[in-house]
Structure 1
Amino acid sequence: MDLKQKVALVTGGGTGIGRATSIALAERGALVAVNYSRSQDDAEETVRMIQHNGGTAITIQADVSRDSEVRAMVNTIVQQFGTINLLVNNASLTHHIPLNDLEAATEAVWDELYAINVKGMFFCARAVAPLMKQQKSGAIVNLGSIAGSTGSGSSLPYAVSKAAVHGLTKSLARALAPEIRVCSVAPGAVLTRWWEGKEEQMKRVAGSALLGHSASTEDVARLICAVLEQESMTGQIITVDSGQTL
């Protein structure tokens, strides 16, 4: 799929991997809707960066864990751009909790992570699916994590939520074929705001990777764009982790 003039929604698009992906899509000629929940300043800065380089982008607020807000967001984007061709389900949340501290994995933590990391991705996919079905073409990338494959990560609930994202990806690929392709990109450790204050831990993780470094947000963004472009792939979980999990 040629991404030029395609309309892309990137959830959590103002920071980290979301920002890098929004910029990469715009560089390929896509019209980008940069979603945010609370990080309005970051989202607006991302849009300014895109516009400065001649791209087209807008910000749009919605809490992806709320279905009504997701549907309203999609309607607003359609009013602005006419349709949605691409969805990058990037919005995610974590809590840093030692895996063996089961008591710290409270019901509130489970509910919050599942509401955003899993249900939010489903709500967004469900909202854009009719548009993509109508135009008989569309692509969705869900941001997974190697935590969903290894069972290890920033917390036990986070790892389980990302395993659920991988399962959701495969189920959506079956449910939405043949018009809509659905894949997951599963990064290893990537230096984003979630690692602020834990840089030494990140260095230890990066040092254990075969390539001796962690992937950058730009590395992940380029892979996301490549997956969106690839018309003969669906239901796949693609890892980008510098060899962490080999």
Structure 2
Amino acid sequence: MNIINQPYIGQLAVLYEGNGDLLPYQQLAARLGVPLYQGLTKDIPEAFLLTWRDGALKLLDRELFKKGGLSVDIEPRSGEQRSWPAPKQDALAHALGRKTHTVIDATTGWAQDSLHIFRMGYELQCIERSPIMAELLSDGFKRLAALDWMQRLNLEPPRLLAGDAIEILAALETPPDCIYLDPMFPPKRKKSALAKKTMMVLRDLLGDDQDKELLFEAALNAAGKRVVVKSPDYAEPLGGKPSESFQGKLLRFDVYLK
């Protein structure tokens, strides 16, 4: 995957802790256009740090520094099948559709839904516009490719496209059966006890998706058969009244058929 040459302007740096070759850290900092520090000191002004720990690229803030950091988790979530292909039984599978084969996740984020879609046997491409998340995803997909079951079944990880989903979708040569959207909605409360650390970090770094209506329009134009939008249960449907909806825990999947 080619990471887009779009430097991140903000509170991020790369941290080298003395483990292994310095070169990958230098290359990562250069790609993102951020500082590289060799060792953590109290005078580092950036709030977020990227570093490799335990074989994975991890994102840390001051609270997470001693806890190991956040990385793309390539293992199934609690309750998900570990077999491949996993049964298509849950609300997400029903929303994607029984006749769907090809899916584009246009808002990949931490890739938990993407990897679930991949493990259910769909042909999947992932789009991520944040250069930071694209680096974390690239690292996660490399670790996924190295797993025994992936190699045994001769499977390739999802293809990762780094860039603006609106532009990428507009330039597609072959429409996928389904385009999946999971945009960031403003939280229901300013301080939600249910907010996960991964989402809190994303909000701090990237903010909410201000162009999700434009993204929906681009997805509807580019999809071959349907667009699926994941929304919190309190949010209004992104594209108006959906063709059908499937309810999950504290969320729903709105389906818009072409």
Shared fold per TM-score greater than 0.5: no
Rg larger for: 2
Higher strand proportion: 2
* TM-score normalised by structure 1 residue count: 0.43
- Larger RCO of the pair (alpha carbons < 8 Å, separation 6+): 1
Higher helix proportion: 1
